[in-house]
Amino acid sequence: MNKWWLVLKREYLFRVKKKSFIVMTLLLPLLFASFIILPAYLMERSMKKNYKVAVIDQSGKLKFDSTEEVSFIQVRATGIDELKSQIDKEKKPYDAVLQVPSDPEHEAAVLYLLSDKDVKISDVVRDIYQQAMEGYRYKQINIQPEVLEQIKEPAKLTVLKWTEKGVTKSSVGVRIALATIGALLVYFFMFMYGGLAMRSVMEEKVNRVVELIVSSVRPLELMFGKLLAILFVALTQFVVWIVLIVFILKSVNIAGQNSDIMVKLNMVLEMVKHVNLGLWIFTFVFFFLTGYLLYGSWFAAIGSAVDVETDAQQFVFPLTLPIIFAIIFLQAVIFNPDGQMAFWLSIIPFTSPIIMPVRISFGIGEAVMWWEYLLSLVLMILTVWASLWATAKVFRMGILFYGKRPTYKDLWKWIRQG
């Protein structure tokens, strides 16, 4: 059995058995449910609450129509003080009291809240009061509100995509979502797991464990074993997250087939059908793997060259600048995926892992030409090969380098002589 496989097996099992890995793997889907599904569900439930609002209309000119959210109750009282004497303070039959002045055109109405816990009621009543005032003003100039509502009715516009193959529904919203999610996932994983590779090598070097390991395993096998082990850890975590998130969404679907959340989710799934999802997934996986190998190899090489993490920062920051640069211009690429900036950022291997999946989201042959796509793949493969060749030399020389803070000159020397 190859020795790099032994390193991979040891490192992988060590990582996946850690409590922090298990907790993080299970926690993220729960956070997904908590921050996305749960708030939407609670908002949907809160929308169904019916507020009771007492109306003291001193003008006698406004008309308030009750809705599913608010029930308006006309009361006989000259003002708020008289109403106070009529109601039982303990039972609080109303959630709020709206007092309309005798001249609502020139005086402000007052909304009295009986509690501060219902933060939404003021916005709801304000909108309805605005509608009541508009109806009052229409009558003043002899315009029927019904006629004006017909004029104001939104124009119907269906957005379709016209291609040589025919007409389909436009899915630009889903494409933007795929572009953004894909870019942020690649960014997150390259930073997270690349840094994990660096710290893993550094820990063994500082603890002098690496001296025992390299006595039986070549430094090159050690580096590749660690890189692949952490890659498999990332893939394991990623697969578990997908399974759990799908399970959560299925559970929500079963619990509420007709809920607004599931209606919106089904609309998104319907729009995804018009995207070349297979090509996008291949592109995402390809650049995720090659991007990790590109940056992860350099992170591992840096970890082998330093003794403390503070010394690593001088090398890590310049290394991560291209990734940060790609994220900064992410929005510009999304809104102009076939522009010059998008082209070069998707061709340059140090930024293409983030930018090319973004461009592919908008369609091959549209935002990206086939020759651009293939060129990006080839350049990425060649760059990863060159990077592994160079970092292997740095790793071999740096793993037993102690007592001195390395410089860029040292790294270049190791690449030339390693």
pLDDT tens sequence across 348-384: 999 999 999 888 888 777 788 999 999 999 999 999 9
pLDDT averaged over every residue in the chain = 78
Amino acid symbol at 360: I
Q: Angle 122-124-129 (CA atoms, 0-180°, nearest 5)?
A: 90
Q: What is the largest CA-CA distance in the chain?
A: 96
What's the confidence (pLDDT) of residue 319?
86
The band of 214, judged by pLDDT with boundaries at 50, 70 and 90, is low
Please tell me whether the overall predicted TM-score, pTM, comes out greater than 0.85 for this model.
no
Amino acid symbol at 212: L
> Hey, CA dihedral for 308, 234, 268, 374, is it positive or negative?
positive
Mean pLDDT of 104-133: 79
What's the confidence (pLDDT) of residue 348?
93
pLDDT tens sequence across 215-265: 677 777 778 888 888 888 888 888 888 888 777 767 665 445 445 555 555
What's the confidence (pLDDT) of residue 217?
73
What's the confidence (pLDDT) of residue 383?
95
Q: Angle 247-253-255 (CA atoms, 0-180°, nearest 5)?
A: 105
Mean pLDDT of 332-355: 90
> Which has more pLDDT, 133 or 275?
133
Region for 371 from its dihedrals, namely left if φ exceeds 0, alpha if ψ lies in -120 to 50, beta otherwise: alpha
Mean pLDDT of 395-412: 78
Distance (Å, rounded) from C-alpha 280 to C-alpha 360?
A: 6
Residue 38 has pLDDT above 50, yes or no: yes
Residue 126: half-sphere exposure toward Cβ, Cα within 13 Å: 6
Domains, the chain, ranges and CATH? 3-26+170-417 (no CATH), 49-152 (3.40.190.10)
Residue indicated by tokens 């850890």: 233
What's the confidence (pLDDT) of residue 169?
59
What's the confidence (pLDDT) of residue 47?
52
pLDDT tens sequence across 304-315: 888 777 777 788
Characterize the bridge pairing of strands 96-100 and 51-57. parallel
What's the confidence (pLDDT) of residue 1?
46
What's the confidence (pLDDT) of residue 143?
73
Query: Which stretch, 72-86, 135-149, 227-241, has highest mean pLDDT?
Result: 227-241
Residue 123 has pLDDT above 50, yes or no: yes
